[in-house]
Amino acid sequence: MTFRMKQTMRWYGPKDPVSLAYISQAGATGIVSALHQIPNGEVWPLEEIKNRKSLIESAGLSWDVVESVPVHEKIKTRSGNFRELIENYKQSIKNLATEGVFRICYNFMPILDWTRTELAHTLPNGAKALRFVKKEVTAFDLYILQREEAEKDYSPEEIHAAKNFFENASKADIQRVQDNILKGLPGSEEGYTLEQFKAALATYKEIGREQLAENLRLFLEEIIPVAQENGVFMAIHPDDPPFDIFGLPRVVSTAADMKRIIGDNDNRHNGFTFCTGSYGVREDNDLIAMVREFGRYIHFIHLRSTRRDQEGNFFEDNHLDGNVLMEAVIAEILKIQKQRKVSIPMRPDHGHQMLDDLDKPIINPGYTAIGRLKGLAEIRGVEAGLIWAGIV
């Protein structure tokens, strides 16, 4: 028997211009959503969960994954009232399980969630994509943020490129980079002013990679038993991008990180969101080998493809292009599903802005309707072809 991936799309709630009806028309049967209106750290009330679930089900869809229940910064740094915040997190897990939502995606990225410098990079065909430009991030760090001793984190070539960009960029470009880094992209936990960001960075002054990894271990030590008791599968999302930025450590970026997380807490309720775009930014991540090794712990899948270059830049490519061998990754996922006898929820991630979406105001960059529909159609085609050919 073949188990197909459960096809879902992200929905930001009632104010999302991409309606539940549109998502259904695209061919998805499930929804990935979150209660973004609940302040970070507070318990998700049963009534709010019930209302969101009812909205989704009234459209003939199912709420398959929560993305995300944010992990408060005080939990990541184990400071202030972090114990109270962990108890709140446990209660949110219980409340979601009470309403039949059993998969939770979350991340442990310090301060910033996913980071891009350009939200409308024009491709040769006229469509627009999300893009990360290393020299712009470096310029922000050195000349706008002016982080103490930041120059130690960059090569002379990187500093030269950043200086050249900063000295020749327009005010609009400087503002664009600053806004995109600080204000928070769709699904991010928080936005910051420059001064707030500097203050937040100071809270990590004594926290390096080993300490942050230990703080994650301690967090999981507390929440995984609650997840297991309530039948909930926790799925940590990789760092995006999967390397240190602004002196902040990243601890969910590589296969070695995945191995450590499972080694620290070997429980099937402690698992992963396998995001091919995030992991695929690193040339040293073998995505096919990672699916084979950690397939037992993959509880949610983001399929997208990034294209990187030697300067550390990358952009969101077409779902079947870029550096991700998407057909091979999907084949491995289908094999894992067959072994486990499950259909893992998957969503096409970060579609291009294209066709008449180019003429519409964009609320959630990367989450317009048509680009994701195209990605979903391509992924479904690959899946169907692999099954028909008997490859899986």
Query: What residues does 104 pair with on adjacent strands?
Result: 66, 234
Res 118: pLDDT: 95
Locate 161 and state its tokens. 């490129």
Q: ∠15-42-208 over CA atoms, to 5°? A: 105
Split at pLDDT 50, 70, 90, the class of 186 is low
Split at pLDDT 50, 70, 90, the class of 145 is very high
Average pLDDT in the chain: 96
| Rounded average pLDDT over 10-36 | 97
Q: Say yes or no to pLDDT of 61 above 70.
A: yes
The residue ranking higher by pLDDT, 125 or 182, is 125
Pick from 7-16, 98-107, 188-197, 198-207: least confident: 188-197
| Rounded average pLDDT over 137-154 | 96
The residue behind tokens 């600080």 is 182
- Whole-prediction pTM: 0.96
Q: Round to whole Å and give the CA distance between 194 and 84.
A: 28
Res 113: pLDDT: 86
Q: Say how many CA atoms lie within 13 Å of 293 toward its Cβ.
A: 15
What pLDDT, in 10s, does the model give residues 65-89? 999 999 999 999 999 999 999 999 9
Query: What residues does 62 pair with on adjacent strands?
Result: 30
Query: What residues does 197 pair with on adjacent strands?
Result: none
3-state secondary structure of 132: strand
Q: Say yes or no to pLDDT of 188 above 70.
A: no
Torsional sign, CA 278, 5, 297, 36: positive
Structural domains in the chain, CATH included, are 6-113+204-388 (3.20.20.150)
Res 187: pLDDT: 62
Split at pLDDT 50, 70, 90, the class of 189 is low
Res 192: pLDDT: 87
Locate 160 and state its tokens. 């030269």
Tell me which residues are annotated as active site: 237, 275, 302, 349-350, 367
Query: What residues does 300 pair with on adjacent strands?
Result: 273
